[in-house]
């Protein structure tokens, strides 16, 4: 009697020949993500211009606009990163003889790498056109309220300081004192500093001489303007910090969405998405 031949399972050592990272798929997903980001950013600028008005009481409030801008950054990151990650997972090469858990990890990594590549690529290539686009939008929104194209950041405060006490009064002096005060305020408040006591006294004397105010009233006007500069500077600092937080949140959510979408795209690529969702009892 002939003994039956027992076939031993083939045991393979080593990794499969297919590389773990499909750079073509990662690059394709990153490029698509960057393009969608620029498209959505252009749409957001147009949408923002339609709701912002330079006139008081018209359009949305500044707080609503800032919150809406932050939320829109999050939406941009989620949409562009999800589509880019999905493309990176769907277009990658199929891994043969690789465990399903390892495939899941690689798909997640593909989405994350695609997001990282898109972030770096966007910072390099899209920084200039995006800045020009946003800058043009903000310039158009504030054009109606702008009175002089060559005005410096402190000219409005200097105008307040040197406003005559009476509308019919003629300001004394020359523009030399205006330029000097503008430079003095700019250098003092550039790094969040404060006017020195001697500078404050000198500015009060100039204001009193040019406006016809008493010395006490001139000093009070100087204190009010200095307080307003501090309030405006602090508001700008807080707005910058809030924008940074919104950008950080959008980047984190973008990384998560890209990784999750890449796993979905990879499962559809291999045809394993349905079997993963079914329970073991349903598959038997």
- Residue pLDDT tens, the chain, 284 long: 455 444 444 444 455 556 778 899 999 999 999 999 989 888 887 776 555 554 555 555 667 777 888 888 899 999 999 999 999 999 988 888 888 888 899 999 999 999 999 998 888 876 665 555 555 544 444 443 344 344 566 666 776 676 665 544 444 445 566 777 777 777 777 766 677 778 788 888 888 888 788 888 888 888 888 888 888 888 888 888 888 898 899 999 999 999 999 999 998 888 876 555 544 444 44
Q: Which of 74, 88, 92, 91 is nearest to 116 (CA)?
A: 88
How far apart (Å, rounded) are the C-alpha atoms in residues 129 and 38?
A: 9
- Distance in angstroms between the alpha carbons of the first and the last residue of the chain: 38
- Dump pLDDT digits (tens) for 194-244: 777 787 888 888 888 887 888 888 888 888 888 888 888 888 888 888 888
Q: Which pLDDT belongs to residue 82?
A: 95
What pLDDT score was predicted for residue 108?
94
- What pLDDT score does 59 carry? 53
Q: Return the pLDDT at 241.
A: 86
Two tokens, residue 110: 């593909």
pLDDT in the model for residue 132: 55
pLDDT at residue 175, rounded to an integer: 58
């Amino acid at each position: 009697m002939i003994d039956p031949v027992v076939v031993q399972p083939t045991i393979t050592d080593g990794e499969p020949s297919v590389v773990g990272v499909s750079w073509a798929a990662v690059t394709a997903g990153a490029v698509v993500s960057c393009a969608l980001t620029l498209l959505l950013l252009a749409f957001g600028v147009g949408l923002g211009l339609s709701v912002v008005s330079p006139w008081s009481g018209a359009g949305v409030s500044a707080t609503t606009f800032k919150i809406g801008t932050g939320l829109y950054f999050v939406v941009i990151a989620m949409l562009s990163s999800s589509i880019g990650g999905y493309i990176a997972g769907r277009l990658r090469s199929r891994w043969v003889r690789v465990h399903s858990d390892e495939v899941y990890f690689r798909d997640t990594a593909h989405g994350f790498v695609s997001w990282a590549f898109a972030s770096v690529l966007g910072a390099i290539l899209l920084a200039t056109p995006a800045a020009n686009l946003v800058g043009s939008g903000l310039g158009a929104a504030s054009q109606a309220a702008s009175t002089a194209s060559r005005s410096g950041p402190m000219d409005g405060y200097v105008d307040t300081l040197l406003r005559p006490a009476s509308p019919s009064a003629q300001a004394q002096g020359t523009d030399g004192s205006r330029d000097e005060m503008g430079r003095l305020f700019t250098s003092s408040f550039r790094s969040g500093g404060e006017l020195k006591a001697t500078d404050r006294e000198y500015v009060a004397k100039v204001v009193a001489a040019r406006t016809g105010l008493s010395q006490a009233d001139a000093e009070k006007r100087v204190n009010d303007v200095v307080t307003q500069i501090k309030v405006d500077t602090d508001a700008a600092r807080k707005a910058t910090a809030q924008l940074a937080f919104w950008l950080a949140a959008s980047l984190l959510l973008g990384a998560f969405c890209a990784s999750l979408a890449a796993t979905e795209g990879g499962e559809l690529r291999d045809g394993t998405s349905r079997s993963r969702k079914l329970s073991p009892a349903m598959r038997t």
